Amino acid sequence: MSRAKIVKASQESIELAAKYLREGKLVAFPSETVYGLGASANDINAINLLYKAKGRPQTHPLILHIADINDVYKYVIEFSPIAQKLAKSFWPGPMTLILPKSDNVLNDITGNQDSVAIRIPNNPIALELIRQTGNGIVAPSANRFGRISATSAEAVYKELGDNIDLILDNGPSKIGIESTIINLYHKPYFIARPGMLLLSQILSVLSDVEKKEFSDIKNNTSIKVSGNLESHYQPFTPVLIMTEKEIRDFTQSKPDMKFGLISFSRIESNNIVHSIIATKDSNDYAMNLYNRLRTIDESGLNFILIQSLPDSEKWLAIKDRLNKASYKSI
Ligand code: TXA
Ligand code: MG
């Protein structure tokens, strides 16, 4: 395999990408959340290749991306009224539903579990690619296992350029962190991975009876969601989350070290050499987060410091990612 080609997404390049996928090759493509590393969902060899390219254990299941709600019926044995309601309300969009799988889903996709994760992404390039490929596209985030997801074609290239054939470039991902995963496979239902689609938004479209089926506690650890590992989404540089005062104290106590910082206002210290000021808009923060972490990571510093985030539901998914990025840093 040669190094991946990055091509601007266009009718022509989508056709080429779909052809590659049908031939069993791997293609990275844009979605509104993060870039995905795609393989044709009915090609076992391509799926094995995908696990290898990403360095991901075969037991961690993949999301099946489809373009049309009606296709769900092919892949599940039950599409419950709640699942249908959520699908109609939030697809295409940053939501993945875990549903009981049918025999049409290869066991290689689900890590031999009898559930399947399905998503209709909200990106015209992704939707057209899925339609042209024909049988659904399985796609994890386009990064090496355990690393930060890629939110640009350049980031995909840095992560996986040696192992894949083609990267469709559609500019930066609009949402910037991975989809909200909802377990609708067994009760009580729950959010298996928080995302920018919030539990309150999900509950707001359900009746009082349906709401009762939901637990807001992450109460099932037997399910294999790699985002559930305590350490995930990690830059190479250790990440620490601190208050403004802790940042001042910590940087001053380590005069020989060099720090990167993402904060909400300027914090002066001689050894903070790469400082990014973020806005307090959670959507903007999420959209820029991985790119900012990558940029600081590449400057080879001792620590990346993150100023603690506001305490509200809107920041939950961002906090989840940063907690995993900072796990066991020191
Ligand atoms: O936004 C996203 O969800 C992106 C874009 C590309 O769609 N995809 C993504 O995929 O984040 P990935 O593979 O990096 O994360 C999907 C998560 C994994 O943690 C996986 O373990 C979990 O979904 N998952 C997939 N199928 C599952 C299943 N049947 N049961 C439980 N968890 C599942
Ligand atoms: Mg991932």
Find the 125 Cα to ligand 1 centroid distance in Å: 20
Residues 115, 146, 308: CA angle, nearest 5 degrees: 105
CB neighbours of residue 131 within 10 Å? 13
Residues 6+ apart with CB under 8 A from 102: 74, 75, 76, 77
Q: What are the structural domain ranges in the chain? A: 5-211, 239-325
Percent of the chain with pLDDT over 90: 89
**What percent helix, strand, coil does the chain show, rounded to 5?**
35, 20, 45
The answer to which of 22-26, 105-109, 143-147, 221-225 has the lowest mean pLDDT is 221-225
CB neighbours of residue 19 within 10 Å? 14
What are the tens digits of pLDDT across the range 249-268? 999 999 999 999 999 999 99
Cβ 115 under 6 angstroms from ligand 1: yes
Cβ 227 under 6 angstroms from ligand 1: yes
Q: Select the more confidently predicted residue: 289 or 219.
A: 289
| Cα gap 131→112, rounded to integer Å | 26
**Which of the listed residues 72, 109, 225 should we mutate to test ligand 1's pocket, taking the one with most ligand atoms within 8 A of CB?**
225
The answer to which of 40-54, 111-125, 276-290, 314-328 has the lowest mean pLDDT is 314-328
| Cα gap 154→172, rounded to integer Å | 10
180 backbone φψ class: left, alpha, beta (φ>0; ψ -120 to 50): beta
Residues 299-310 have a mean pLDDT of 96
Class of domain 5-211: alpha beta
What are the tens digits of pLDDT across the range 223-248? 445 555 666 778 999 999 999 999 99
Q: Are strands 137-138 and 239-242 parallel, antiparallel or unpaired?
A: unpaired
Find the 175 Cα to ligand 2 centroid distance in Å: 15
Which two tokens mark 152? Answer: 């640009």
Cβ 307 under 6 angstroms from ligand 1: no
| Cα gap 85→201, rounded to integer Å | 13
| Cα gap 139→145, rounded to integer Å | 13
Cβ 141 under 6 angstroms from ligand 1: yes
Residue pair 208/319 in contact (Cβ under 8 Å)? The answer is no
Which residue is it, tokens 């939501």? 95
Specify the DSSP class assigned to residue 298: T
| Cα gap 293→276, rounded to integer Å | 10
Atom of ligand 1 nearest to the CA of 141: 14
**Which of the listed residues 50, 63, 144, 220 should we mutate to test ligand 1's pocket, taking the one with most ligand atoms within 8 A of CB?**
63
Which residue is it, tokens 């894949």? 164
**Angle subtended by helix axes 153-160 and 282-297, to nearest 10:** 40
CATH-assigned architecture of domain 239-325: 3-Layer(aba) Sandwich (3.40)
Cβ 98 under 6 angstroms from ligand 1: yes
Percent of the chain with pLDDT over 70: 93
